[in-house]
Amino acid sequence: MKFTAILVQTLLWLSIAVSPALVGGIVGFFLSLYLGSLDSIALPICLGLGFVTGAAWAERIRKTIGLSAFLGKLMGNPEIDGRN
């Protein structure tokens, strides 16, 4: 049972940490296109900064309100699921 709880908490943490990394990847991709070369260092740097930001955010959420409570509040928001 403890393994399952650790696995779920890890997946919840990753779901919070990966979202800024995706934004960083998109910014890095367009920055690389702007610089004229997709093999530039801009994409990995932006991805890394996004993941570090996301990891710090996920840790702050984990220590304050908890990962499942945070994601539960997001999923239970009536504006998101269309309920009035």
* Whole-number pLDDT of residue 1: 73
Q: Splitting the chain (84 residues) into consecutive groups of 10 residues, what average pLDDT does each group show?
A: 90 93 92 83 91 95 91 77 61
Can you give the pLDDT at residue 80?
67
Does some domain include residue 35?
Answer: yes
Structural domain range at position 35: 20-81
Q: Evaluate whether residue 24 is within a structural domain.
A: yes
Answer yes or no: is 77 within a domain. Answer: yes
How many angstroms separate the CA atoms of 52 and 18, rounded?
10
6 in a structural domain: no
How many structural domains is the chain composed of? 1
3 within domain boundaries: no
Residue in this structure with the two tokens 């996301």, named with its chain if needed: 54
Largest CA distance in the chain: 51
Q: What is the pLDDT of residue 37?
A: 78
